[in-house]
Structure 1
């Protein structure tokens, strides 16, 4: 059960060099490097083309239709943090827009992941403030009910602990536990190196059937060819 009405001011972030080592890799590569875990639901989409973000999570637990706690969270941001906002129940209201982005950017925020709605999309794109959300929605919110900041949350079905690293791009959003950042970065690098060689072979016309030695297992599984 979530703690309500709590702001944790001290969270443990992984070393900056580990975050920087992970940041260049795509979400799909990181997801595979973690054993195909860590993804948020695929409805979480960038609000403008080309949005991308990687950074340490400052978590927020919102109440539906209420963005009070996003203002509270901004005070807790350190440079390179990403706000990761979950909600106590489903809500697609426009919790976040240009003014909050301006405030968060002034504190060094790298972006926002929100299982809710946001608005002012053209302005966010002009600022190049990356946001990944479940909806774009002009509907405004109130400031009436407290939630929490820097508590463990579940955002779009993915558990997020304050200080975890979130990476988001056109393929989705992935969460890397803080304790695994260096390991996952190294595994991702090895995957990318291996894929470079495979890409060359595919470009030269070699089939995956042969590269991955699939023909015999397919035959054993009962696949037949008919001319």
Structure 2
């Protein structure tokens, strides 16, 4: 797609679905979806934060955050800003000041495969970020890019309006069109996990719960009382 665009209209998921996916958490949502993880190189830069929201996507030139400023105007309450660059970069694309502007628009967090800075201030203000790097090197504002176009962030395709779920385990992107179905599957997994948790608490072994004894035997693993002499 040639040219640079700022797309104003974004179809967003319903709030109940977003809240449910946030409650389920990244690991369960990933399992329910069967994929969708952003590279673990894009990691949480704080502890204990758990967010979910509609993606507002931005693609910038490396070391440039002009288009993030353009994106702020289009953000709504509950959105997650997803920022990437046209080639790999660890230069910070935002810090405390831009985060303040984003939070004033209701943005709940940022995911970027570039860098962030002012990390102590971001933590103090309670604005969570998932980023490839923390770097004191700040950006310029000189180059064109696009807002709310499909982007690849941390190896994962993200479209504007997709549901971003992020917590201490990482980041997962759920396509908006399948989000309700993924949530239903995630809730079934959570119920199944609760039942298994109760069995583990009662002393049952995973070997028996998952039927693994036959598998181990079939792989030729032997149980012995002492290591055979060679």
The answer to whether the superposition gives a TM-score over 0.5 is yes
**CA–CA distance in structure 1, aligned partners of residues 121 and 109 of structure 2:** 14
How far did 1:114 drift?
Answer: 0.6
Q: Are the counterparts in 2 of residues 3 and 151 from structure 1 also a CA contact under 8 Å?
A: no
Match of 1:126 in 2: 124
**CA–CA distance in structure 2, aligned partners of residues 69 and 208 of structure 1:** 50
Q: Does 1:70 align with 2:68?
A: yes
Match of 1:21 in 2: 20
CA RMSD of aligned residues (A): 1.1
1:135 paired residue among 129, 133, 136:
133
Report the structure number with the largest CA radius of gyration.
2
How far did 1:203 drift?
Answer: 2.2
Alignment of 1:50-129 (within 5 A): 50-129=48-127
TM-score (norm 1): 0.96
Structure 2, gaps ≥5 residues long = 226-230
**CA–CA distance in structure 2, aligned partners of residues 113 and 57 of structure 1:** 9
Structure 1, gaps ≥5 residues long = none
How far did 1:159 drift?
Answer: 0.4
1:182 paired residue among 173, 180, 201:
180
**CA–CA distance in structure 2, aligned partners of residues 4 and 68 of structure 1:** 16
For 1:66, what is the secondary structure of its paired residue? coil
Match of 2:208 in 1: 210
* TM-aligned CA distance change 1:3 to 1:130, over 3 Å: farther
Match of 2:4 in 1: 5
Question: What CA deviation, in whole Å up to 9, does each residue of 1:68-89 have, x standing for no partner?
Answer: 1110010110111100011100
TM-score (norm 2): 0.95
Match of 1:173 in 2: 171
